[in-house]
Structure 1
Amino acid sequence: MKFLKAVRNWPRYDRNSKCPPVVVVLAGATMHLTLGTLYTFGNMSPYVVSYIRKYGHPTSTTAETATWIYALAILGQGLSMYFGGKLELKLGTRLTALLGSLTMSVGVALSYFTIASFWLLLITYGFVFGFGVGIAYPIPMACAIRWLPKRKGFAAGCVVAGFGLGAFIFDQVQTAFINPDGIKPVGDDGATERYFEDPQVLKRTKQCFLILGALYTILQVISAFFLVDPKPDDEAEESNDSVQLTSVTSSENPLDSDSILSPGSDEEMSDTELILTQSSDIKINNSNPVNFKPKQLFRQKTFYLIWIMFLLSGQGVITVSTLYKAYGFGFIKSDQFLAISGAIASLSNASGRIIWSYLADKFSFRFTAMVMMNLMTALLLTFSATSLAGKGMFLAWITMLFFCIGGVFSLFPAATVRAFGSKYFASNYGLVFSSQVIAGPVGAFLPTILSQSLGYIGVWYLSAGLVYIAVLVTYCCSMRHPAKSFK
């Protein structure tokens, strides 16, 4: 117990120090770097599917059915994130982050033993991997927000940028280890899918899981030691449980409002909505910050709108993240080019998380989210044209799509902390992220069905339609005077 207490409390910095916020943000980004290898599934999928078809079962496994592995990972992440926030209150920031991240690494390492079975791989590389990611995911963000309370969106964006960079780095690591000679997958001319048959490539695919598990563990242990909260301020301690907000237009308690996102006068609208749509008109009372407890979110209409937006936009995230490489193999035979494309897209993902969160801080959540989702819709509607235009357009579209994906995973954390406070952010964002419990399985089921009847074009069109519905839901955040949202 003394050891655990020492691990939990060392080192203990003071908020007035100039160095710790930078150290904490970098440590959080490093941990997210390992968690973000969730996005390497698109790169690993052709190798894993090829191994199962050659040495495992069922031999009929395809890239579309393999999306269920990713779906189970998202399911595990969505189920565990709320409990990660609860564990943080019990175990502290460092131990909770370490527990979740090591669970994820164990899932990766165990996949060395389960790769021959698609069903066992669903558990290790799917659910266990995602369950660990979910526990650890919100903890570094919450920690960074506590150090930079006046720049919440930027702090969260910098940390989750590491999540986007994970695939940028480890896509290259995976491809360099598994297929260093650039051996091409085998398939008939005109085939939409191709698979690897080289014994050495398949052997290294299995070994890669052990190497990745070890690398992740090393990075996670090092970064966890620098994830510390600032010393609590006495005044903040006294006001942590209060839920008060002073705005220029409204002073009513948001929990007592029945018109949270409904049209009407400014006086009739809740403070929570004003945070989302008129951030420039809001004055937060710093001595009495907004801190909604998780159970209070269920009385907020804003919560349900954010949840639905996240659910719908998540469909585009899942289809692009899991199928871009398998789709690319249909007209691009170079494994190295696709790996480089994935790495560049991941870099775009990381930069998108910072840029979109900055724009949300500067303008508003509603305006920024609508721009991002409209762009994503347009890209998905035209993505099928890349098979005709070739490598250049494919790279450009993948890069821009992942730029939008970065926005999805930076805007919703920022919206959550602005609307519901930072004290219970980890648990609150876990509830918001629970939308992905549905998005994951649906995102795996629909491509499996549509690819057989309509091909990839049907998958991209359906995803575009769902994301555009999210645009319409976001528009519902508009108030009677929507121009104020565009300041």
Structure 2
Amino acid sequence: MSSLFSKQAIIAGPGFNRWLVPPAALSVHLCIGQAYAFSVFNEPLSRVIGISSPAADDWKLTTLGWIFSLAIVFLGLSAAFGGKWLEKVGPRLTMFVAACCFGGGFWVAALGVHLHEIWLIYLGYGVIGGIGLGLGYVSPVSTLIKWFPDRRGMATGMAIMGFGGGAMIGAPLSVLLMDHFKSAESVGVQESFLVMGSLYMVSMLIGAFTIRIPEPDWQPEGWQAPQIRNKMISSQHVHIDQALKTPQFYLLWLVLCLNVTAGIGVLGQASVMIQEMFKGSVTPAAAAGFVGLLSLFNMGGRFFWSSSSDYLGRKNTYFVFFVLGALLYASVPTLGMHGNMPLFVLFYALIMSMYGGGFATIPAYLADIFGTRFVGGIHGRLLTAWSTAGVFGPVLVNYIREYQLAQGVAKADAYNVTMYIMAGLLVLGFIANLLIRPVHEKHHIQHQEFDELDGNFPRKTS
């Protein structure tokens, strides 16, 4: 059994079609992307006892809000600690564990609904499911980069686009299942959790057992690695632990954190914001459509910008994010003041495309700076920036808005200061990106060290 999960067992043979790897990655990312749609369960969960309306003993929405927060926290923690393990054992075992945790987390959460014990839902979806999220997120990334050395950005974009699109499948699937299972005795959440956990586990297991990794130093047929003229693309490799000793890691951490902070805070308030800034002109249904449009641009931007970075370069792509993003954020208050809704919607759609693009471009950026050998583990450590931004962004937007309202500022103008602060954060991101330089050669792994650090790939001798 152990041989089935070893790295040696999943080395692709001659003639393997590398285009079979992206579907394996998508089969995982389209599942775990459901996390973005978990909010559809909150309202039904608030009336598990009362069924038609909340009863006295039902959970409050503030209590239920912690389920998603826990999942994101454990996503970051498991990615940070599991990334190094991923490089040691390979993507199959990591994806297998991710499938068991994410699917099994739904089952434990279903038990929590049945027993009406909120701690079991926290444990199931928040902790166990969150671990599955983190391991599933990082598992395919380094593999794709190794299969597509000629298109690193496109490769990571294909998988991470799936995470952005997972909610577009998860939300309607959740609603469909709850409608099917609801009755006079049930809101349908418990049964939906059991079915979704099973479906997601099967899909992720298919990805785990179809994933393959290339031989060391494999190259696409007919392709030769070009002479590297861009000093920002390294042909050397840096070990996971050594990467933490470089200033480049922390600058890239800031680059990701600031880009995500600026986007995620607004994303959570998009519906309320457009209704308040254009009071009387936007209905709740239209605001929901606005949120859906932002989700589409978030997903599409992951593929478009990461693929574009193969031609623009990763550093230049982030320069576009920071310069264009800052200009767009700084322009939003003026658009609201003049009631220019079409440009307002367009500007936010572009902002969300760059928000998603930042997630998809960062793995290729890491591969350029630190090499491809340990990029999965390094990417996992860097995702703590996402966990930080996931807390900092919404808090920043919500508290500044409340302060503005307390000072007597009209609701339509309560976001103006926030938009300028977001623009300022992107300026800081521009500076951090500007400071990134190639890693000093003292951090590079020497060839004779590969045997010890990557023991499943013994170097061939002639």
Contact kept? 1:451, 1:459, Cα under 8 Å: yes
Q: CA separation in 2, counterparts of 1:392 and 1:212?
A: 38
Deviations 1:314-373 (A, max 9, x none): 2134324444356578776656x6666555433322321121112221122222112123
- Aligned partners of 1:387 and 1:5: how far apart in 2? 64
Change (3 A) 1:432 1:113: same
Residue from 351, 365, 371 that aligns with 2:314: 365
Q: Say whether 1:467 aligns with 2:426.
A: yes
- TM-superposed CA distance for 1:120, in Å, is 5.5
Structure 2 CA distance for partners of 1:466 and 1:333, relative to 1, 3 Å: same
Question: In 2 relative to 1, CA 45–445 (structure 1 residues): closer, same or farther, beyond 3 Å?
Answer: farther
Q: 1:310 aligns with which of 235, 253, 256?
A: 256
**Alpha-carbon distance in 2 for matches of 1:367, 1:449:** 33
* Cα deviations by residue, 1:126-150 (Å, 9 ceiling, x for unpaired): 3433222112212211111121222
Distance 1:386 1:59 in 2: 37
Identify if the C-alpha distance between structure 1 residues 51 and 394 changes in structure 2 by more than 3 Å, giving closer, same or farther.
farther
- 1:57–1:117 CA contact under 8 A, matched in 2: no
State the partner residue of 1:193: none
TM score, norm. by length of structure 1: 0.71
Consecutive unaligned residues in structure 2, runs of 5 or more: 220-225, 406-413, 439-462
Residue matched to 1:214: 198
Counterparts of 1:434 and 1:459, CA distance in 2 = 24
Mapped pair 1:204 → 2:201: no
Give distance in 2, aligned partners of 1:164 and 1:130: 16
Counterpart amino acid of residue 217 in structure 1: M
SS at match of 1:81: helix
Q: Which whole-Å CA distance do the structure 1 matches of 2:213 and 2:21 have between them?
A: 9
The 10-residue stretch of structure 1 (110-119 or 379-388) with the greater mean CA deviation from structure 2: 379-388
**Cα separation, 2, equivalents of 1:388 and 1:44:** 38
Match of 2:222 in 1: none
Structure 1 residue 421, shift from structure 2 partner: 1.0
- Following the alignment from structure 1 to structure 2, what is the Cα–Cα distance between the partners of residues 328 and 67? 23
Distance 1:416 1:393 in 2: 34
1:103 pairs with 2:129: no
Contact 1:81 1:426 in 2 (8 A): no
Q: Conserved in 2, the CA contact under 8 Å of 1:167 and 1:343? A: no
Shift of 1:199: 9.0
- Number of positions where the alignment pairs a residue of Structure 1 with one of Structure 2: 411
Distance 1:34 1:162, change over 3 A: same
**Aligned runs of 1:162-201 on 2, under 5 Å?**
162-178=162-178
CA distance in 1, matches of 2:188, 2:48: 10
Equivalent of 2:265, from 312, 319, 323? 319
Deviation of the 1:207 alpha carbon:
4.2
The partner residue of 2:369 within 413, 419, 427 is 419
1:317-466 equivalences in 2 (<5 Å): 317-325=263-271, 341-380=290-329, 396=346, 399-447=349-397, 449-454=399-404, 457=415, 462-466=421-425
- Match of residue 448 from structure 2: none
Instruction: Report the Cα distance in structure 1 between the residues aligned to 2:25 and 2:101, rounded to whole angstroms.
Output: 17
- Quote the offset at 1:177 in angstroms: 4.3
- Cα deviation digits, residues 145-173 of structure 1 (max 9, x gap): 12122222221111212112212222332
- The alpha-carbon distance between structure 1 residues 221 and 344, as it changes in their structure 2 partners (threshold 3 A), is farther
Tell me how far apart the structure 2 counterparts of residues 372 and 438 of structure 1 sit (CA, whole Å): 19
Query: Structure 1 residues 309-318 or 389-398, which shifts more?
Result: 389-398
Inter-CA distance 465–112: structure 2 relative to 1 (3 Å threshold) = farther
Q: Which runs of 5+ in 1 are unaligned?
A: 181-197, 236-244, 249-270, 480-487
Change (3 A) 1:163 1:91: same
Whether contact under 8 Å (1:96, 1:139) holds in the other structure is: yes
Q: 1:16 to 1:83 in 2, by over 3 A?
A: farther
Measured in 2, the distance between the counterparts of 1:10 and 1:56 equals 55
In 1: Cα distance, 2:195 partner to 2:265 partner: 27
Q: TM-score, normalised by structure 2?
A: 0.74
- Matched with 2:240 is 294
Alpha carbons of 1:379 and 1:96: their partners in 2 closer, same or farther (altered >3 Å)? same
Secondary structure in structure 1 of the residue aligned to 2:140: helix
CA pair 57-466 structure 1, distance change in 2 beyond 3 A? farther
1:151 equivalenced with 2:101 (yes/no): no
Equivalent residue for 1:72?
70
Shift of 1:80: 1.3
Shift of 1:41: 3.8
Alignment partners' CA distance in 2, 1:398 and 1:339: 14
Give 1:39's aligned residue: 36
Paired with 2:283 and 2:121, the residues of 1 have a C-alpha distance of 27
Q: Deviations over 1:237-291 (max 9, x none)?
A: xxxxxxxx9866xxxxxxxxxxxxxxxxxxxxxx9xx31xxx5xxxx6xxxx411
Q: Distance in 1 between matches of 2:275 and 2:39?
A: 12
Q: Give 3-state SS (helix, strand or coil) of 1:290's partner.
A: coil
SS in 1 for 2:84: helix
Seq. identity, % = 24
- What letter corresponds to residue 14 of structure 1 in structure 2? G
RMSD: 4.0
Q: Alpha carbons of 1:387 and 1:106: their partners in 2 closer, same or farther (altered >3 Å)?
A: farther
* Contact 2:108 2:120 (8 Å CA) reproduced: no
The equivalent residue for 1:266 is none
Q: State the secondary structure of the residue aligned to 2:210.
A: coil
**Counterpart contact for 1:168–1:342, Cα < 8 Å:** no
- Distance, in Å, in 1 between the alignment partners of 2:19 and 2:364 is 19
- Equivalents in 2 of 1:156, 1:222: separation in Å? 19
Distance 1:117 1:16, change over 3 A: same
